[in-house]
Amino acid sequence: MVAQRIFENNPIIHLDIGSRVDGFVAHVASFRKIEVLDVRPTEAKVENITFKTADLMKVDNTLLNYCDSLSCLHALEHFGLGRYNDPIQFDGYLDGLNSMYKILKQGGVLYLSVPIGRQRVEFNGQRVFSVRYLLRLFKDKYTINNFSFVDDKGDLHKNVRMNDRDIDRNFDCHYGCGTFEMTKL
Q: Which pTM was predicted?
A: 0.95
CATH of the domain at 87: 3.40.50.150
Tell me the pLDDT tens digit for each residue of 115-174. Answer: 999 999 988 789 999 999 999 999 999 999 999 999 999 999 999 999 999 999 999 999
Greater confidence (37 vs 83) lies with: 37
3-state SS, one letter per residue, for the chain: CHHHHHHHHCCCCEEEECCCHHHHHHHHHCCCCEEEEECCCCCCCECCEEEEECCCCCCCHHHCCCEEEEEEECCHHHCCCCCCCCCCCCCHHHHHHHHHHHHEEEEEEEEEEEEECCCEEECCCEEEECHHHHHHHHCCCEEEEEEEEECCCCCEECCCCCCHHHHHCHHHCCCEEEEEEEEEC
Confidence (pLDDT) at 39: 83
Tell me what the mean pLDDT of segment 12-24 comes to. 90
Burial 26-56 (b: 16+ CB within 10 A, else e): ebbbeeeebbbbbbeeeeeeeeebebeebbb
178 pLDDT more than 80:
yes
* Number of domains the chain contains: 1
Tell me the pLDDT tens digit for each residue of 43-89. Answer: 778 899 999 988 888 888 899 999 999 999 999 999 888 887 778 88
User: Pairing mode, if any, of strands 34-38 and 49-53?
Assistant: parallel
CA distance 36 to 120: 28
Confidence (pLDDT) at 184: 98
Domain span at residue 89?
Answer: 2-184
